[in-house]
Structure 1
Amino acid sequence: MNSKQSTARRLLGYALAYKFRIAGALLLLVVAVGAELGGPYITKTIIDRHLTTNGTSGDWSAVLGLLALYMGLLLAASVCNYSQSYLLQSTALRIIRNMRMDLMGHIHRIPLRYFDNTPIGQVVSRIANDTEAVRDLFMSFMATFVVSLIQLAGIFVALFILDARLALFCLLLPPLFAIIMAVHLKYSKVFITIMRARLSDMNAMINESITVMPIIQAFRRERKTREEFESLNVDRYVNQIKQFRVFSLSSRNIVGTIGSLVTAMVIWYFGGESLATAAFSFGVLYAFIDYLGRIFQPIIGIFDQLTNAQRAFVSADKVFAILDMEGKEVEQADDAARPEGVVRFQDVTFAYKTGENVLKGISFEARRGETVALVGHTGSGKSSIMNLLLGFYEPDQGVITIDGRDISTLSKQELRKHMGIVLQDPFLFAGDIKSNVSLYNPDITIDRVKRALAEVGAAAFVEQLPNGYDEQVVERGSTLSSGQRQLISFARALAFDPSILILDEATASIDSETEGLIQRALQVVSHGRTTLVIAHRLSTIREADQILVLHRGEIVERGNHDELMALQGRYFKMYQLQKGEKPAVGSPASATWSERSAAIVSD
């Protein structure tokens, strides 16, 4: 089965969920088409029976009766068209609602590796733009293609009722238009595919530009960014113009031309024969020309929707490509038992890219109530250890256990249920402060929220805000200072009462006063919990039970602060650099700052 057939079959699967609504709409459509096509036949009857010399002249009551029937049919067609249009359009919206929810739900099941290599804007484009394009397919297909096909079928039935010889002549038109459509689809698909790709690239670039706007402006990259965006925009424009040329040539233009020529031929040949031999009545000729003219409107409607249909199939392919990615089901973990919190890494090796190990044979243990700190230069593997513990990635070798149980045997929700995490760059959601702490968890009461904020020292500044705990926070919390955002994220982690607390450089972006508040709070909240800390500011981990010094993915030193300082190794050098102290002459740390930095990097 090729991809196009597969995509069409899967789209049909979504539609079949509402098969009864669609069947009812199509039944109404058949009634509406029949009522509309009855008009020319009534006109033919009036002409042949009441307005020609061969008909019964002057029977105006019969004429008025037929006109009333004509008006009644138009009214019935109007009501049926409204009803079927509403049913089909609302069904299309329901189908896309289901598809969008499937896509959003599946994104939460996809491994993080996908997001490492995919710009956020492209993911947003799949959920927003591509599903909208698929919606256009359902709405245009059900509202135009199906309608047009039923209209064409009804028209040809009427033509055969009028005259089979004339109808057989007109049967040459559908194959001719089908060939033209095939040529149209072949040439326009290339341009539409490029247009959708460029739109996705533009969305990704816009998202990135907004996120890093301060960097762009600080480094005067506005012009370069604009030029890069213009390149994408121009490429999309050029391909869109090419697609419009194909559309203009093969849609209304060619259909209208063929329609006019066919109508002229019918009038010239068959009309002339009718006048010469009286083989056809004036009424039949009028009705036939009326029906013939109606053939081209559905054809034009189908041509008008070909672009939308192609765009939708391209978008559907992208949507289904995400839905086809392997993911793990989001399982319920309400009954997950609270672990004691003994974390153990046993000879763990891991690589984001095959052959480029970022962790090599990592082994350590963190017991309940202990604080284990990970230190090292950027790229040494600190965050990778946390990512593995949280189940964002799977180790290539080795085993990670909690209370002796391999975490690979746990669902991700069960694994993370009793974990709390605070990141270096805290993220606050749009909403009030209390919801940012509780994340709308019904088990976390307002009293628990207030207690968590108080424990981290945030209650003082929160209660001074105009609306206190109901103070609205814009997305990312840009109206608060970095220290205030960090305190709220600490309160969020503590409100969930984790047995394992992960601090990923959580004190790197706060001032000394706020750091003191957090340090005092951590001494309380870490009691009875396993706490793992990634730290750049070594002064914040002096009281840690165990400090692991990483270098190029390996643990090169381990011990508490005093033990590591006594070694006068890598940790000693890092600590001296940050404190600005000068040890005895001859010590590696007695060199200049630049010399010491170079020595550490070269180790």
Structure 2
Amino acid sequence: MKEEKVSGKIFDRAVLKRLITFISPYKGKFTLLVVIILISAGLSPALPLLIKYTIDTPISQGDQQGLTRMLLIMIGLLFASSLLAFFNTYLAGWLGQSIIRDIRIQLYEKIMGLKLSYFDQTPIGRLVTRTISDIETLSNVFSSGFAAIAGDILQLVLIISVMFYTDWRLSLISLSTIPLMLFATYVFKEKIKKSFNHVRNAVSNLNSFVQEQITGMSLVQIFNSEDISYKKFVEINKKHRQANIRSILYYSIYYPVAEVISALGTGLVVWYGAKQIINPEMDVTFGTITAFIMFINQFFRPIRMIADRVNTLQMGIVSTDRIIKVLDSDETIENKGTRKDIVKGAVEFQDVSFAYIDDNYVLKDISFKVKEGETIAFVGATGAGKSSIINLLTRFYEINKGNILIDGIDIKDFDKYHLRQQIGMVLQDVFLFSDTIRNNITLGDTSISDEQIAEAAKMVGVHNFIMQLPGNYDYNVMERGSTLSVGQRQLISFVRAMVQNPNIIVLDEATSSVDTESEELIQNAISKLMKGRTAIVIAHRLSTIQKADKILVVNAGRIVESGSHDELLRQNGHYANLYEMQYQESLAQ
């Protein structure tokens, strides 16, 4: 699978600007978080100074009362720091989860509005990664990214200032190891940046492969491809493991190195400070050395944390870049139309040409008219372009040339959602959600009553079957309707179309996958459904469309024949050949 390439630059202005817009609705909470982090950072040098004073004054002078007073002050300081840490952790977590909730909603809304061509070219697993994993990564950016880095930097500035104020000589000794730490941190940051890109790509590829294989598991099993699928999964999983181990390796090297550098700084302070204490002419005290040992720990900890937080920000930038690409995708059907007329059903295609990719046209100069209440059927070989005609009528794809009119109005002038609501569709490949039969029929539309559902089910002839199921209309059909037969799923899809009461009905190979008994039920339902409505039928079985008002034969993206069943047979062309082949097949059976 092809890996996505992203810049991942921490100071990518476009990405950072977008991140800030996500924070905008929570400016007050974010400002409060920054204030809490800055106060916490400001308190950090206080404890070493209090311990220095306690050692050099109450303890060295044997002042029991002064020692008790200092202990109470330190306990109060620790309590305040703990309280601030609580609010910091809780508020940062709340802020992060609130923001990613908003982003996930925006992303899902965007995905629902994308063209079908986008899904044709993008693995579903990759979109799942964007919606789940990548957005989850952003949570850490807002909870331990921007504000936390600012707090760490302030803490470093304050600690350095206090160190030099306390003893400039010990400060220079303490900070002599900084170049080593900065070099190690820079190398770590660069390595972990590349490593994270590999990890994100590995996760995306793993999600895509697993989703695809599970969806097509019946195909994998029927062709005994389990071993091949397993080996591919092992290979992709191996790359995922290697990418993560590489990341772990860099962490496992960096942190011990950082600890050694920190310990080296502490050793230098102790060595130099001890020499000064031994020399009676120097004014270095035990309290000063103790404070500097604490300062060193407090100084190097933010440096290590900044490296980790920069990595978190790096991961967030990469994830944000991926998310923004989806959010800013122009692969959408524009909805500039405002008309919400009740469609009567007259359909006209005027010299329509369409290509899924570039200029590779699958439909060429398609023209036909369907009068209100008329039934028109499309027949032709697989890949001739029949289903593409339906996809264009419902604006799943945009045409390249020509015009499509309904009741004399260009379909682009209709509100997109209103237009689709006026067209009832029954497809060959029926998709049912893991939900109740009722919700699969209404798709969550609460305006459809139980009486309407039952009436439509009775018309289709499926009501009695549903009433025999546990829970009746509340029966859960499981994922993709796996607990129902192909025919039962198809019948439910008919009920779904009928409850919408549309004036245009589209049947795309609606009976090609059902048994004879189900087909008889469906044919009976179709006759009732078509009454008074415009019907557009794509048929594989020619026996199902012989009574159509007009039959159009599509071949290689063009309409090559047109007429009634009898007229087309007399022409002795494509349609006659198709009819003869099916007739011979039926005799052979």
For normalisation by structure 2, the TM-score amounts to 0.93
Cα distance in 2, alignment partners of residues 363 and 163 from structure 1: 90
Cα distance in 1, alignment partners of residues 336 and 171 from structure 2: 64
| 8 Å Cα contact 2:435/2:478 also seen in 1 | yes
Mapping of residues 185-200 of structure 1, within 5 Å? 185-200=189-204
1:22 paired residue among 19, 24, 30: 30
Q: Secondary structure at the match of 2:145?
A: helix
Structure with more contact order per residue of length (Cα contacts < 8 Å, sep ≥ 6):
2
Residue 61 of structure 1: CA displacement? 1.1
User: What code does the residue aligned with 1:87 have?
Assistant: L
Q: Match for residue 552 of structure 2?
A: 548
Whether 2:53 is the aligned partner of 1:45: answer yes
1:471 paired residue among 468, 475, 479: 475
Cα distance in 2, alignment partners of residues 398 and 68 from structure 1: 84
- Closer/same/farther in 2, CA of residues 524 and 408 from structure 1, 3 Å limit: same
| 8 Å Cα contact 1:32/1:78 also seen in 2 | no
For normalisation by structure 1, the TM-score amounts to 0.91
User: What code does the residue aligned with 1:198 have?
Assistant: A
Mapping of residues 254-403 of structure 1, within 5 Å? 254-276=257-279, 277-328=281-332, 336-403=340-407
Cα distance in 2, alignment partners of residues 347 and 333 from structure 1: 21
Residue 446 of structure 1: CA displacement? 0.8
Q: Match for residue 525 of structure 2?
A: 521
Mapping of residues 198-277 of structure 1, within 5 Å? 198-249=202-253, 251-276=254-279, 277=281
User: What code does the residue aligned with 2:410 have?
Assistant: D
Cα distance in 1, alignment partners of residues 46 and 333 from structure 2: 56
- Closer/same/farther in 2, CA of residues 239 and 430 from structure 1, 3 Å limit: closer
Residue 38 of structure 1: CA displacement? 2.2
| 8 Å Cα contact 2:53/2:287 also seen in 1 | yes
Cα distance in 2, alignment partners of residues 580 and 293 from structure 1: 88
Cα distance in 1, alignment partners of residues 560 and 274 from structure 2: 99
Q: Deviations over 1:401-420 (max 9, x none)?
A: 11111112333213212111
Residue 114 of structure 1: CA displacement? 1.0
User: What code does the residue aligned with 1:459 have?
Assistant: H
Cα distance in 1, alignment partners of residues 586 and 431 from structure 2: 38
Residue 307 of structure 1: CA displacement? 4.3
User: What code does the residue aligned with 1:390 have?
Assistant: T
| 8 Å Cα contact 1:35/1:76 also seen in 2 | no
Q: Deviations over 1:508-555 (max 9, x none)?
A: 111111111111111122122111111101111111111111111111
Cα distance in 1, alignment partners of residues 137 and 257 from structure 2: 26
| 8 Å Cα contact 1:134/1:312 also seen in 2 | yes
- Closer/same/farther in 2, CA of residues 581 and 208 from structure 1, 3 Å limit: closer
| 8 Å Cα contact 1:32/1:77 also seen in 2 | yes
Number of aligned residues: 580
- Closer/same/farther in 2, CA of residues 60 and 582 from structure 1, 3 Å limit: closer
| 8 Å Cα contact 2:337/2:412 also seen in 1 | no
Q: Match for residue 107 of structure 2?
A: 103
Cα distance in 2, alignment partners of residues 269 and 378 from structure 1: 86
Q: Deviations over 1:256-282 (max 9, x none)?
A: 121111222222224423431222222
Q: Match for residue 4 of structure 2?
A: none
Q: Secondary structure at the match of 2:352?
A: strand
Uncovered stretches (5+) of structure 1, i.e. residues with no partner: 584-591, 594-603
Cα distance in 1, alignment partners of residues 362 and 177 from structure 2: 66
| 8 Å Cα contact 1:255/1:299 also seen in 2 | no
Further displaced range: 374-383 or 8-17: 8-17
| 8 Å Cα contact 2:333/2:395 also seen in 1 | no
Uncovered stretches (5+) of structure 2, i.e. residues with no partner: 1-6
User: What code does the residue aligned with 1:411 have?
Assistant: D
| 8 Å Cα contact 1:31/1:77 also seen in 2 | no
User: What code does the residue aligned with 2:18 have?
Assistant: R
Cα distance in 2, alignment partners of residues 432 and 355 from structure 1: 43
Q: Deviations over 1:292-329 (max 9, x none)?
A: 12212222233344544333322222111111211548
Instruction: Report the identity percentage.
Output: 38
